[in-house]
Amino acid sequence: MVSLAFAAFSAAAAAPSAVSEQCREFLVHGLPTKKGDLLCRTGYALIHDNDTKAATWVAQRMTIARLATVVKRQDRFIPDPDIPKGSRAELDDYRGSGYDRGHMAPAADMRWSAQAMRESFYLSNMAPQVGVGLNRGLWSDLESMIRRWVASRGELFIYTGPIFQAAREQLTRIGPNQVAVPTHFYKVVFDPVRVETIAFVVPNAPQTSRRIEEFITSVRDIEQRTGLDFLNRINPSVQALIEESVASSLWQ
């Protein structure tokens, strides 16, 4: 594993110079796509799609220090002030829709900073998500599990986002601003020390099973579904190896 780690990072460059210092820590392993508006926050970075009114991906860097609880959850959802009206989701879009405002970067990951917590409630960090059985069920379990991995493993990089497995004109949309409803959600978790990935795809539907391991997939599968390219600043041969592999079980 030591030699693999050296191979991974001996050829890896820093994040692109065009990326702001605030975003750089989240994107040191590359931008999954450059299409859309790059928004840099205290606890995450994302690319926003003005058509779906959702993030294409949200990138986080989690550390043991960021597991500290400095502030409590606030539940103050607001439209993203950096996205113009007409290109963003509004509170009215979710009212009466039957969907939760599902966090991509979880609020529970942001308890280390008041500013990070506030920004986690921007609607650009949300997507319409089934509540019972997903946002308030298996998806929440997955988020909690990743925090436990951070506690045991240390620094992890996490990429989260929606999948739209339908033509744009066939997508379900909600509200006056026509916020697109994902068909699935994904998470990619990268351990830079062990040079390992584990990835998940979960349908945007109530899940009767709480067995997270049933939703393990490969990073390559997510790339094929979304057109994204994760970890593209890692040595290409190592990138291919870790993206094509499917974890045989959940991390410990």
**pTM for this structure?**
0.93
* Chain segment 155-166, per-residue pLDDT in tens: 999 999 999 998
**Has residue 252 been placed in a domain?**
no
User: Percentage of residues in the chain with pLDDT exceeding 90?
Assistant: 86
Q: Is 142 within the bounds of a domain? A: yes
250 lies in some domain: no
Residue 1 scores a pLDDT above 90:
no
Q: How far apart are CA 86 and CA 88, in angstroms?
A: 6
Q: Is pLDDT above 80 for 20?
A: no
Whether 249 is covered by a domain: the verdict is: no
- Look at the chain and report how many structural domains it folds into: 1
pLDDT at 211: 96
Report if residue 208 sits inside a domain: yes
Domain span at residue 133? 2-244
Active site residues: 103
In degrees, to the nearest 5, what angle opens at C-alpha 183 toward C-alphas 217 and 251?
Answer: 25
